[in-house]
Structure 1
Amino acid sequence: MTSAATRPGVRRGTIPVFATATAVTVSNIYFTQPLLDAIARSFHTSPSTAGLVATTGQIGYALGIVAIVPLADGARLRRLSTVLLAVTTVGLAAGAFAPSVALLSLAALVRSASTVLPQVIMPTVVSMASTGNAGRVLGAVGTGLTMGALLSRTAAGLIAEATGTWRAGFVAAALATGSLLLVLPRYMPADPPAPAVRRESYPRMLASLPLLILQHPSLRLSAALGGTAFAAFSAFWSSLAFHLTQAPIGLGPAVIGLFGLFSVPGALAARYSGRLTDRWGSRKVNALSLAAALLAFALFGLAGQSLIALAIGCNLLGYGTTSGQIANQARVFAAQPAIRARLNTVYIFAVFAGGAVGSAVAGVFFSAFGWTGVVGSGMGFLLIAVLVLALDTSRARHSARPASAPADSCVDQDAPGRESAAARR
């Protein structure tokens, strides 16, 4: 990425460093999933008990989103990133040498709560973007986020197979995360991105989170679109392994673990959705992302037994989900700069809540109706998103706008007058 994407004074190479750091840290949430069977055998326990490692990891991440990310509005970001990386590294190292599932789960809780650094980086990188390039820098860092999530499972499986122990995956993750301590803090700003005139206390920061939904229409729209789209995404990925192991496909676990690699081209293509967001506005990119996701589920339904169709659909779904995320966060971050981290907290919480609902619904539908039920549930979530976007577009067209404001701009596309008033409050 050229220096034109960032403001003067931003250190050269900041965006690639942020993208790499995002990929490495987000992988700490997902890499344990292919290791759960080996963990269960190592401790001579049931798969459901070993599954507590993944469950506590998700709980820890949710707690970190709510309790830690808002601090980025007022904390010294260089110091905050150093503390988060150090705690995550220690948590990973503790997991590598954990003598029981209980202590491994406790370590997962701690390191997942502190591995929310990607959600600190997102609002930070927007504050560093030059005018008109918020989507572009979000696209670059968002691609790192997606790549880390996709490739971490595959990498962990390969490391465990090569070394013969699941603990090697934790060691590798600890080394990768610890190495960021030598690089990332030097690229983070020493001060908050937009220091507030009046510094708020931590309890007041947390108490303000629910009110943000009421005050910012753009946040409501992004939360609704992000939650429903991620529900469809989670419905597919949480059920895919069950579908691939059944006849007539009948794949083994090793091949299924590599299936996420099929989504890499789509995720890489989504990087350019950031530039489209800058050029077209978030609303149009949302429409494009939903069209790609709907096409993916159409393929899953019409040719769900074909590995080629599933691979193409994975790319379309990955592209649609990542593009929508970039557009949604560009819309959210266009609000009040001093509270971007808190806005992102509410948005990401809505996204992960949608993902949890999508996984739960897909599980029920798969048990009752098989793969057809999963496809139907995913399409249902996406159609809700289409309805939300259509209603918002209709509202925007019929609302009075200043003559100088474009009809669909990334910076101010959700009722500019009302959003500005809410931001001033």
Structure 2
Amino acid sequence: MTPPSPAPAMKRGTIPVFAVATAITVANIYFTQPLLERIALDLGVSSTAAGGVATAGQIGYALGIVAIVPLADRAPLRRVSRILLTVTAIALLAGALAPSIALLSLATLVLSTTTVVPQIIMPTVASLAAKGQAGRALGAVGTGLTLGALLSRTVSGALSQVTGTWRADYFAAALVTACLLFVLPRYMPERGAITGEDTTGYLKLLASMPPLVLRHPSLRLSALLGAGVYGAFSSFWATLAFHLSQKPLELGPAAAGLFGLSSVPGALAARYSGRLSDRYGPDTVNVIALVSATTAFLVFLLDGDSLAALVIGCNLLGYGTTSAQIANQTRIFAGPVAVRARLNTLYMFSLFASAAVGSALAVALFERHGWTAVALEGMAFLALAALILTVHAVNRHGTPEVPGTRRASRAAHPEPAVSEHR
């Protein structure tokens, strides 16, 4: 095994640049959601067919995470980031010109497959962060990611309303993504791995991932908790535009997008979850996140036709989802440095596979049974996550363990930060 080399120094301004970059790139997956009703009308398809565009985005992102993100353990990150941003910009242009729902879905699948830069940035910033500060760094970058997901809906809804076409959003996204090419690569370290090992072939790199699921209980826990929360999150956002367009609300895509803007306070508050994870352990933050997200869906269920209730619920859901993400990634990035990108690959794949299922199921439930069914679906996802966290606490030492204690924190991420390669 090649001796480890020291971690590269973090340039001044790296965390703000990383936060903005994650916001811009992740927006490419979510900006279509407020446009689904308009896409359906323009292309003459059903809402279910239009919802397939959002589902294609989730599936593509999951595929990109599996096929591309593991390279962050070995590949030249500056070169990888340039290639990914270039392909994403081209695919966005293709989406803007797509004449049919099939071609639009295909373009969305391609662009979402290559817009995995945020999941390369996450393990990178965790490795660059000072000891004991990984949660704080992930909190800052993770907040940028959530703001990108939320505000993309606001910008895309408003732009579609002003221009009268959803195609303007694809053109704008292509331009912003292309501009990022001139900034982000300068702040990326040259190499993904800091262990000095760069001889692992691509296929071997992929083949090394399944055994990691067995070796790392913290990965299994984080993946299951994240899948529950993100499945609920995606079910809400995949159907919000349809819900707002119907009686009694009868609002257009701009109004749907404004819900992203109204959710900013909740997302900003979640930034401090990184510090809480560093100090008290990720289990505590997972509990807080589940309580917040579950409360959000109770609000949606009890008063889903009230704009005020929807805004409150959006903030609670945004806070819960972002906090859960920060806690889960803090837990898995306490593992070996040499495999962090692959651990993140497995974790994020579970999230976006769940998101694809949640989105597709929510659209189908909404068409058949309405908004109440969507709220109940979200609560079912969260109940499953709560059950998993409870079983984890009970099984750890045979009795429920208070999340956030030092013992719980150690149990949550027991792997030493050393290479697993032999």
TM-score by length of 2: 0.88
Opposite residue 354 of structure 1, the aligned amino acid is: S
Decide whether aligned partners of structure 1 residues 228 and 41 sit closer, same or farther in structure 2, where only a CA change above 3 A counts: closer
Q: Is the 8 A contact 2:151 2:257 kept in 1?
A: no
Residue in structure 2 matched with residue 323 of structure 1 by the alignment:
323
Distance 1:145 1:98 in 2: 27
- Give the conservation status (yes or no) of the 8 Å contact 2:299–2:309: yes
Q: Confirm or deny that 1:310 pairs with 2:298.
A: no
Provide the residue aligned with 2:215 in structure 1: 215
Does the Cα contact within 8 Å between 2:263 and 2:314 map onto a contact in 1? yes
For residues 132 and 281 of structure 2, the distance between their equivalents in structure 1, rounded to whole angstroms, comes to 11
Deviation (angstroms), 1:296: 1.6
**Partner deviation per Cα, 1:106-156 (whole Å, 9 max, x = no partner):** 433322211111110010010110011111111111111111111112212
SS across alignment from 2:407: coil
Aligned to 2:338: 338
* 8 Å Cα contact 1:296/1:314 also seen in 2: yes
Equivalence for 2:4? none
The answer for the alignment partner of 2:238 in structure 1 is 238
**Paired amino acid for 2:167:** R
For residues 289 and 133 of structure 1, do their structure 2 counterparts lie closer, same or farther at Cα, with a shift above 3 Å needed? same
Q: How many residues align?
A: 410
Q: Which residue of 1 aligns with 2:402?
A: none
Find the counterpart in structure 1 of residue 170 from structure 2. Answer: 170
Could you tell me which residue of structure 1 aligns to residue 87 of structure 2? 87
Deviation of residue 40 (structure 1)? Answer: 5.2
Q: Mean Cα displacement is larger for which, 177-186 or 217-226?
A: 177-186
Per-residue deviation, 1:200 = 1.7
Q: Partner residue of 1:291? A: 291
Which stretch has the larger CA shift, 12-21 or 297-306? 297-306
Q: Check 1:80–1:195 CA distance in 2 against 1; reply closer, same or farther (3 A cut).
A: farther
SS at match of 2:406: coil
Q: Which amino acid counterpart does residue 284 of structure 2 have in structure 1?
A: K
Q: Does the residue aligned with 1:10 lie in a helix, a strand or coil? A: coil
1:414 equivalent to 2:412? Answer yes
Q: In structure 1, what is the Cα distance between the partners aligned to 2:305 and 2:43?
A: 36
Post-superposition Cα deviations, 1:363-422, rounded to whole Å, max 9, x if no partner, equal 4554565433333332222122112112212233459xxxxx93133xx43372xx4599
Q: Greater CA deviation, 75-84 or 354-363?
A: 354-363
Instruction: Write the deviation string for residues 314-366 of structure 1: whole angstroms up to 9, x where unpaired.
Output: 11111011100100011011111111111111111111122233334444554
Residue 137 of structure 2 corresponds to 137
Pairs within 5 Å for 1:95-114: 95-98=95-98, 101-114=101-114
Equivalent residue, structure 1, for 2:300: 300
Contact 2:32 2:54 in 1 (8 A): yes
Change (3 A) 1:283 1:123: same
Tell me if structure 2 keeps the 8 A contact 1:215–1:422: no
- The alignment partner of 1:11 has SS state of coil
CA gap 1:73/1:408 in 2 versus in 1, 3 angstroms: same
Structure 1 position 356 matched with structure 2 position 356: yes
Q: Distance in 2 between matches of 1:99 and 1:236?
A: 28
* CA distance, structure 2, for counterparts of residue 196 and residue 215 of structure 1: 22
CA contact (8 A) 2:85 2:181 kept: yes
Which consecutive unaligned segments of at least 5 residues does structure 2 have? 1-6, 400-404
Aligned residue in 1 for 2:72: 72
Within 1, Cα distance between the matches of 2:360 and 2:87? 31
Task: Give yes or no for contact 1:60–1:109 (8 Å, CA) kept in 2.
Answer: yes
Alignment RMSD (CA, Å): 2.7
Report if aligned partners of 2:58, 2:353 keep a CA contact under 8 Å in 1. Answer: no
Partners of 2:271 and 2:327 in 1: CA distance: 11
CA apart distance, 1:64: 0.9
Moved more, 172-181 or 55-64: 55-64
Secondary structure, aligned partner of 1:408: helix
Show structure 1 runs of 5+ residues with no match. 1-6, 400-404
8 Å Cα contact 2:334-2:413 kept in structure 1: no
Q: Is the 8 A contact 2:158 2:257 kept in 1?
A: no
Q: 1:185 to 1:97 in 2, by over 3 A?
A: same
TM-score of the aligned structures, taking structure 1 as reference length: 0.88
